[in-house]
Structure 1
Amino acid sequence: MKYDKIDPQLFIKNRKNFASHMKPNSLAVFNSNDVYPISADSTMPFEQQRDLFYLSGVDQEASVLMLFPDCPNENFREILFVTETNAHIAVWEGEKLTKKAATDTSGVATIYWLQDLEKVLFEMTSYADTFYINTNEHYRANVETETREDRFTKWLLAKYPAHSVAKSNPILQRLRAVKDPIELALMQQACDITEKGFRRLLNFTKPGVWEYEIEAELLHEFIRNRSKGFAYTPIIAAGNNANVLHYIENNRQCKNGDLILLDVAAEYANYSSDLTRTIPVSGKFSDRQKTVYNAVNRVKKEATNMLLPGTLWKEYHVEVGKIMTSELLKLGLLDKADVQNEDKNWPAYKQYFMHGTSHHIGLDTHDYGLLHEPMQANNVFTVEPGIYIPKEGFGIRLEDDVVIQEKGTPFNLMGNIPIEADEIEEIMQG
Structure 2
Amino acid sequence: MRYAQIPNSLFIKNRKKFMDRMRPKSLAVFNSNDIYPIGADSTMPFQQQRDIFYLSGADQEETKLLLFPDAIEEKHREILFVRETNDHIAVWEGEKLTKEKATEVSGIETIYWLKEFDKVFFDLMTEAELIYFNTNEHYRQSVETQTREDRFIAKVKEDFPAHSWARSNPILQEIRGTKEPEELEIMQQACNITEKGIRRVLNFLKPGVWEYEIEAELMHEFLSNRSRGFAYTPIIASGNNANVLHYVENKNQCQDGDLILMDVGASYANYASDLSRTFPVNGRFTKRQREVYDAVLRVKNDATKLLVPGTLWAEYHKEVGKLMTSELLGLKLLDKADVQNEDKNWPAYKKYFMHGTSHHIGLDTHDYGPLKTPMNANMVFTVEPGIYIPEEGFGIRLEDDVVVQEKGEPFNLMRDIPIEAEEIEEIMNKN
**2-structure distance, mates of 1:160, 1:46:** 31
SS at match of 1:256: coil
**2-structure distance, mates of 1:185, 1:391:** 42
Corresponding residue of 2:163: 163
Corresponding residue of 2:34: 34
Corresponding residue of 2:244: 244
Corresponding residue of 1:327: 327
SS at match of 1:204: coil
Instruction: Give % identity.
Output: 72
- Post-superposition Cα deviations, 1:83-103, rounded to whole Å, max 9, x if no partner, equal 000000000001100000000
Q: Which runs of 5+ in 1 are unaligned?
A: none
**2-structure distance, mates of 1:162, 1:47:** 34
Corresponding residue of 1:48: 48
Corresponding residue of 2:128: 128
- Post-superposition Cα deviations, 1:185-221, rounded to whole Å, max 9, x if no partner, equal 0000000000000000000000000000000000000
Letter in 2 for 1:299: V
Q: Tell me by how many angstroms 1:157 deviates.
A: 1.4
Corresponding residue of 1:355: 355
**How many residue pairs are counted as aligned between the two chains?**
430
Corresponding residue of 2:300: 300
Q: Which runs of 5+ in 2 are unaligned?
A: none
1:277 aligns with 2:296: no
Corresponding residue of 2:6: 6
Q: Tell me by how many angstroms 1:370 deviates.
A: 1.7
**2-structure distance, mates of 1:234, 1:126:** 48
TM-score, normalised via structure 2 length: 0.99
Letter in 2 for 1:329: L
Q: Tell me by how many angstroms 1:348 deviates.
A: 0.3
Q: Tell me by how many angstroms 1:122 deviates.
A: 1.1
**2-structure distance, mates of 1:282, 1:330:** 26
- Post-superposition Cα deviations, 1:147-190, rounded to whole Å, max 9, x if no partner, equal 00110111111101111101100000010000000000000000
- Post-superposition Cα deviations, 1:240-297, rounded to whole Å, max 9, x if no partner, equal 0000000000000000000000001100000000000000000000000001000000
**2-structure distance, mates of 1:191, 1:163:** 45
1:177 aligns with 2:185: no
Q: Tell me by how many angstroms 1:126 deviates.
A: 1.0
SS at match of 1:209: coil
Corresponding residue of 1:343: 343
TM-score, normalised via structure 1 length: 1.00
Corresponding residue of 1:309: 309
**2-structure distance, mates of 1:27, 1:316:** 37
Letter in 2 for 1:120: V
1:266 aligns with 2:266: yes
Q: Tell me by how many angstroms 1:412 deviates.
A: 0.2
**2-structure distance, mates of 1:30, 1:258:** 48
1:225 aligns with 2:225: yes
- Post-superposition Cα deviations, 1:104-154, rounded to whole Å, max 9, x if no partner, equal 000000000000000001110111000001000000001100000110111
SS at match of 2:300: helix
Letter in 2 for 1:16: K
**1-structure distance, mates of 2:6, 2:265:** 21
SS at match of 2:162: coil
Q: Tell me by how many angstroms 1:369 deviates.
A: 1.1
SS at match of 2:396: strand
Letter in 1 for 2:227: S
Note the aligned Cα RMSD (angstroms): 0.4
- Post-superposition Cα deviations, 1:370-391, rounded to whole Å, max 9, x if no partner, equal 2111111000000000000000
**2-structure distance, mates of 1:276, 1:75:** 47
